[in-house]
Amino acid sequence: MQRSTGLLLVTVLGLSATTTACGASEPAAPSPGGAAVTITVACQPAKTAPKERAAWDDDVAAFMKAHPGVTVKSTDQQPCFDPKTFGPKLAGGQMETAFVVPVTNYADVIGKGQALDISAYTGEIKNWDDLRADVRALVTKDGKVYGVPNVHYSVGLVYNRKLFAQAGLDPDTPPATWAEIREAAKKIAALGPGHIGYGEYSGGNTGGWHFTQALYGRGGAVLTGDGKKAAFNSPEGRAVLQTLHDMRWTDNSMGSRLLVGWESLMMAMGSGKVGMMLGAPDVVTDVVTKFRGDVADYGITGFPEAKASLSGGEAFMINPRATPEQAKAALQWLDFRYNTVGKGRFDFARGKTLGNPVGVPDNDVYGDSATGKAIQAEREKNATLPVRNYAPYVRAAAGVPPKAEPAHAQELYAILDVVMSGVLSRQDADPGKLLADAEAKADALLAAKG
Amino acid sequence: MISVGARATERRARERRRPRPIEVRFRTIVSPHQLNSRWGRRIYWAVLLTVLTLSTLAFVFPLYWMVTGAMKSGEELALMPPTLVPRAPTLDAFAEAWELFDIGLLLRNTAFYALGGWLVTMAVDVSAAYALSKLRPALGNVVLGAMLATLMVPPMVVLIPLYVTVSDLGLLNDPWGLWLPAAANGFNIFLLKRFFDSIPKELVEAALIDGAGPLRVLWSVILPVSRPILGVVSIFTIVTSFKDFVWPLLVMTDSDRMTISVGLSQTAGAVPQNTIMAGLVIAGIPTVVVFFFFQRHIMAGLTAGSIKG
Amino acid sequence: MRVLKRNLTAYGFLCAALACFAVFAWYPMVREFVLSFQRTNLVDPPAWVGLDNFAAVVRDPAFGTAWLNTVAFTVLALVCGYAVPFVTALVLNELRHARGYLRFVVYLPVMLPPIVAVLLFRWFFDPGPGLFNQILGLFHLPGLAWLDSSSTALVSLVIVSTWMNMGSATLIYLAALQNIPPELYEAAELDGAGILARIRHVTIPQTRLILMLMLMLQIVATMQVFIEPYMLTGGGPENATVTVAYLMYQFAFTYGDGYGQAGALGMMLMLVLLVFAAFQLRLTRDEREVTA
């Protein structure tokens, strides 16, 4: 209640600022045609993260002050992108002007005409040319740009430094091979009941997604080159499952619980009893901000023996029904909040005062361009954590080629989820058979899809 | 409390002297004679005791575990074996749940949807039942049949097309998206109509002779005598709306507009166990309180549908 | 003229209900049918695809499993959710004490929002400090994996489902038992019928209709099971708890533009359930004839 009143107040102030600005006849007034424009933007932090939310609200106020005539309304649906509501929201005219789309759904959204062609407005993002070219290519189709890449990362190994120390392992030399991971997991699990050396999950398709991460890391592929056949029933696929099966049932280093879904593993990670898990640096951020992990405990290193990495990330796209004024204002907002060094999300000084784990290299959307370097410098300057904790990840990630998700990702993940939950829940599971079954299912699915 | 205890002692004292017969007010499978035989009585008390223990364990103990779980610390919750009574009972988890889940807002939303839905449902269904019962329009039976036919269609099956329809109308994240589909309830109309049918014609005719219009007849003749059925339908409408999960999950997706069930399910993954339990306790209280006060209505309504009223 | 006026007034009172039913009950039934032959993403105009949706649904790798699971769930839920309430009602009806308390307690879980029951049991099922394994431990029995194993997950869901639903069936049976005329028992007793014979020859025939009716109702209700797998298992492990309704949800909201495919699967579910519903309708009619 209070917040909306505050917002209203800000809006009123912003409007009166417009009139004064016009009265002062500033020639460079950016207000489009003097007309007021209202945009809605997604991803306001949830109320469960009050500090983040306050920072967001400050940004909105600051942006509106700097852009008279533009009114910004925020939505805080969690998660920002919900496939369940995406289609209906768009159809029902409820979609935000600027909404977020995860990399899994780029092709889908662009292909269906659910995002606006913003080629004409990319100039509003001042650092546009510094965004990684290969990441920009993901949101470009037939030469037209449909989104502003927002986050990009590759998968690494997140680990709990404190547990490593307790188990007599050196937190500064995290495991670099699967054999080392197995050894480390055993030692951490031996710390006592409730300790999980290596965490993994399944259920609701998430297991299939993580299987794909592991498979790509080992150099495997989900589909053949032409996308017509399944390719995961391979030595790499079997190795992924065999390792998990050994850790779960031979070493007993994965806990006794079958974790269902991403959140349950994150909860366990946040409680400080999980040694390692596959994940991108954003796992560290989430564990700390949403799952109450202790900032100092978490480190990240490269994916062991990585051959390739499943691309992860998200982009902002614009509602296809937005007016040109709205689209322009929305891109200005994205520029301000997400793409300006020292502002919005890259305001690391503020992040530091909020107690965020500043220093986590959770986004290489700018690669090593000038902007990317400036961001990294800012980040290191305000780091609340020894940046060298993440150096192994940064080093490893730079050399690993990104690999996109397979076509029909969700359907395939549903099939692979079965495989993953099989090895994690059954001691007598046979990885070869699980993969052969899944392969038959996937081939049938692909044949049906044509 | 004291009097009950006193009566029990008195009874026990009497039993020692002379076995008091088990009072039988209605005949069931076991005959009163058998029941009051020497063994009959023993078996009866044994069965009674077993049933009391079992049903308390099965239905009350889980709730006890939920409430006490919410009063334990995170460490105590993880203990094996668990503690039966919280060592240091605290309400911290409730405060935390209140804040994290934003339960105040969720409860207010849910209450608003339930009450609004109740008003809409009553207005729509009562007037429809009234028209079908007392005004008897042409094709009234066809209309009633078509309304009852919707009861044959499993809700999960029409979920998707209903969702698509509501989305087409732009009613997502709008309370009307909950209220209007809820008002299309054939069962309510059936129950109300059957009750209205039993109201003597003379009553209505007398009012008509006095010059009352149909609306006035409904308001001052029908409704006052229909209190029992109105009570049953009201309580069921409100409770159903409070308990509903799948439909609000699809329709009310804004975190500011979620119902308590949906809100809990969305946040439950990201908070500690004792906080979840506290959230569940709070979410369970309203319907249980309603049950406490309207037990008889609810049980009457439960059997109204399947057995002749 | 008077007739016309009466009809106008009547339809005036009916119009709100007619509108609600038309838009939110009748139209979706038609739409369901139409949807199953279309491909739509809700934004572009829908395209007719003939039987493609049905073909795609049947070919889905989880299709067969979902039906098997749903049937298994329904059968198991009937074993617990049908026999247990009836026996409970029989026993409750014989008791002369604490009747109010017992009825209250049995119905209590029904009053809780399902999400409360489901999340509560998720915690009970925890293989570590969860209540169930701790109780098993008390009797020196080995713990079970409950939701975590493909062999016990479905049964675990049945347990939750029975716990939160059996109260209404119990009370309905109880009411039916109380309607049995006492003379019948007395007559049976005079014929020398023992307790079991009285149940067989009096109780069951007298409650036959309500028993059959509840059977149909419960089949229709349990075959739509969704919340339990959605909240507790995400369909796992190894698809052991994927139900038809859950798969429908997956089609509609997780896979690409699958509203049409969800519609096709819904049509199949509807056809199956209509058989039971029709049977139920006949029973209701019989019952009305009997009681009229």
Does the structure show a pLDDT above 80 at A398?
A: no
Cα four-point dihedral sign C32, C34, C38, C39 = negative
Does A92 reach chain B within 8 Å, measured CB to CB? yes
Quick one: how many helices (H) and strands (E) in chain B? 18, 0
The three-state DSSP-derived secondary structure of A129-188 is: HHCCHHHHHHCEECCEECCEEEEEECCEEEEEHHHHHHCCCCCCCCCCCHHHHHHHHHHH
Domain locations along chain A: 2-146+312-341, 159-310+399-449
Q: Which of C9, C23, C214 sits opposite B214 (nearest CB)?
A: C9
What confidence score (pLDDT) does residue C287 get? 64
CB contact under 8 A, B28 and C227: no
Distance CA C62, CA B19 (A): 64
pTM (2 d.p.): 0.83
Domain locations along chain B: 2-96, 102-306
Q: In the CATH hierarchy, which top-level class contains the domain A2-146+312-341?
A: alpha beta
* Mutation for testing the A interface, residue in C148, C151, C251 having most A CBs under 10 Å: C148
For A354, which DSSP code?
A: T
Q: Distance (Å) from the C-alpha of residue B260 to the closest C-alpha of chain C?
A: 9
Least confident of A209-213, A303-307, B65-69, C191-195: C191-195
For B108-139, what is each residue's pLDDT tens digit?
Answer: 999 999 999 999 999 999 999 999 998 888 88
The interface residues of chain B toward chain A in range 271-300, judged by CB-CB distance below 8 A, are 272
Grouping H, G, I as helix, E, B as strand and the rest as coil, residue A334 is helix
What confidence score (pLDDT) does residue B308 get? 35
Crossing angle of helices B38-55 and C84-94, in 10° steps, is: 130
- For residue A108, the chain C residues in CB contact (below 8 A) are 256
Distance CA A340, CA A334 (A): 9
Task: Write the Ramachandran bin of C46: left for phi over 0, alpha for psi from -120 to 50, otherwise beta.
Answer: beta
What confidence score (pLDDT) does residue A258 get? 81
Q: Distance (Å) from the C-alpha of residue C134 to the closest C-alpha of chain B?
A: 6
Distance CA A58, CA A51 (A): 11
Does B167 reach chain A within 8 Å, measured CB to CB? yes
Which residues share a beta bridge with A70? Answer: A37
Nearest residue to A59 via CA among A172, B138, A51, B114: A51
For A217-263, what is each residue's pLDDT tens digit?
Answer: 999 999 998 888 999 999 999 999 999 999 999 999 998 878 887 87
Nearest residue to B248 via CA among C113, A76, C64: C113
For A230, which DSSP code?
A: B
Distance CA B308, CA B289 (A): 28
Grouping H, G, I as helix, E, B as strand and the rest as coil, residue A196 is strand
Omega of the bond leading into C237 within 30 degrees of 0 (cis) = yes
Does the structure show a pLDDT above 60 at A141?
A: yes
Grouping H, G, I as helix, E, B as strand and the rest as coil, residue B91 is coil
Residue type, A325: E
A88-98: b or e for each residue (b if 16 or more CB lie within 10 Å)? bbbbbebbbbb
Does C239 reach chain A within 8 Å, measured CB to CB? yes
What is A390-444 written as a DSSP string?
GHHHHHHHHHSPEEPPPTTHHHHHHHHHHHHHHHHH-TT--HHHHHHHHHHHHHH
* Mutation for testing the C interface, residue in B164, B222, B241 having most C CBs under 10 Å: B164
What confidence score (pLDDT) does residue A402 get? 82
CB contact under 8 A, B167 and A93: no
Does A261 reach chain B within 8 Å, measured CB to CB? yes
- For residue C61, the chain A residues in CB contact (below 8 A) are 414-415, 441-442, 444-445
Name the phi and psi angles at B121, rounded to 5: -60, -45
Residue A24: count other Cβ atoms within 10 Å of its Cβ: 8
Which residues share a beta bridge with A100? Answer: A316
Tokens at residue A341, please?
């060094």
Distance CA A270, CA C134 (A): 25
Does A47 reach chain B within 8 Å, measured CB to CB? yes
Q: What is the mean pLDDT of residues B228-252?
A: 90
CATH for the stretch C52-291: 1.10.3720.10
How high does pLDDT run on average in chain C?
87
> Which of A106-115, B27-36, B199-208, C238-247 has the highest average model confidence (pLDDT)?
C238-247
Tokens at residue B140, please?
């009234």
For B270-290, what is each residue's pLDDT tens digit?
Answer: 778 888 999 999 999 999 998
Name the pairing type of β-strands A140-141 and A144-145: antiparallel
What is A273-295 written as a DSSP string?
-EEEEEE-HHHHHHHHHTS---G
Q: Where are the alpha helices (DSSP H) in A35-97?
A: 50-66, 83-91
- For residue A91, the chain B residues in CB contact (below 8 A) are 167-168
The interface residues of chain C toward chain B in range 95-154, judged by CB-CB distance below 8 A, are 95-98, 101-109, 111-116, 119-121, 123-124, 128-129, 131, 134, 137-138
Distance CA B68, CA A255 (A): 27
- For residue B22, the chain C residues in CB contact (below 8 A) are 96
Dihedral of the alpha carbons of A185, A190, A195, A198, in degrees to the nearest 10: 10
Distance CA A318, CA A304 (A): 37
Distance CA B182, CA B116 (A): 11
The three-state DSSP-derived secondary structure of B153-201 is: CCHHHHHHHHHHHHHHCCCCCCCHHHHHHHHCCHHHHHHHHHHHHCCCH
Helix-strand-coil split of chain C, %, nearest 5:
75, 0, 25
For B144-180, what is each residue's pLDDT tens digit?
Answer: 999 988 888 888 888 888 988 898 888 888 999 999 9
Quick one: how many helices (H) and strands (E) in chain A? 17, 15
Q: What is the mean pLDDT of residues A80-89?
A: 72
How high does pLDDT run on average in chain A?
84
**C61 Cα distance to chain centroid:** 25
Grouping H, G, I as helix, E, B as strand and the rest as coil, residue C48 is strand
Distance CA A15, CA C156 (A): 58
Residue bearing the bigger pLDDT, B10 or C188: C188
Residue labelled with tokens 């490269």: A302
Residue C144: count other Cβ atoms within 10 Å of its Cβ: 18
What confidence score (pLDDT) does residue C163 get? 92
Distance CA B17, CA B9 (A): 13
Does the structure show a pLDDT above 70 at B11?
A: no
Please report which confidence band the pLDDT of residue A6 belongs to, taking 50, 70 and 90 as the band edges: very low
Distance CA B14, CA C219 (A): 50
For B31, which DSSP code?
A: -
For A33, which DSSP code?
A: G
Residue A317 near residue A101, CB atoms below 8 Å: yes
Least confident of A109-118, B13-22, B79-88: B13-22
Q: Which of B80, B172, B270 sits opposite A267 (nearest CB)?
A: B270
Which chains form contacts with chain A, at 3 or more CB pairs under 8 Å? Answer: B, C
What is B260-283 written as a DSSP string?
HHHHHHHHGGGS-HHHHHHHHHHH
What confidence score (pLDDT) does residue A450 get? 67
Which residues share a beta bridge with A300? Answer: A158
- For residue A46, the chain B residues in CB contact (below 8 A) are 255
Does B283 reach chain C within 8 Å, measured CB to CB? yes
For A11-66, what is each residue's pLDDT tens digit?
Answer: 333 333 333 333 333 333 344 445 689 999 988 887 767 888 899 999 999 999 99
CB contact under 8 A, C256 and A108: yes
For A247, which DSSP code?
A: I
How high does pLDDT run on average in chain B?
85
- For residue A418, the chain C residues in CB contact (below 8 A) are 236, 238-239
Distance CA B3, CA C130 (A): 40
Distance CA B182, CA C24 (A): 9
CB contact under 8 A, C128 and A114: no
Does C29 reach chain B within 8 Å, measured CB to CB? yes
Q: Which CATH code, of 3.30.2350.10, 2.30.42.10, 3.40.1190.10, 3.40.190.10, is assigned to A159-310+399-449?
A: 3.40.190.10
- For residue C39, the chain A residues in CB contact (below 8 A) are none
CATH superfamily assigned to domain B102-306: MetI-like (1.10.3720.10)
Distance CA C150, CA B192 (A): 46
Residue type, B173: N
Please report which confidence band the pLDDT of residue A396 belongs to, taking 50, 70 and 90 as the band edges: confident
| The Cα angle at residue B254 between residues B253 and B255, in degrees rounded to 5 | 105
Does B255 reach chain A within 8 Å, measured CB to CB? yes
Nearest residue to A319 via CA among A80, A93, A153: A93
Q: What is the mean pLDDT of residues A343-349?
A: 88
Is the ipTM value over 0.90, yes or no?
no
Nearest residue to C103 via CA among B59, B252, B21: B59
Does the structure show a pLDDT above 80 at B104?
A: yes
Q: Which residues contact C74 (CB under 8 A, 6 or more apart)?
A: C219, C222, C223, C225
* Mutation for testing the C interface, residue in B28, B51, B120 having most C CBs under 10 Å: B28
Does A172 reach chain B within 8 Å, measured CB to CB? no
Residue labelled with tokens 């009143």: A5
Distance CA B244, CA B250 (A): 11
Q: Which residues contact B226 (CB under 8 A, 6 or more apart)?
A: B192, B195, B196, B199
Q: What is the mean pLDDT of residues A152-169?
A: 91
Q: What is the mean pLDDT of residues A148-159?
A: 90
Domain locations along chain C: 52-291
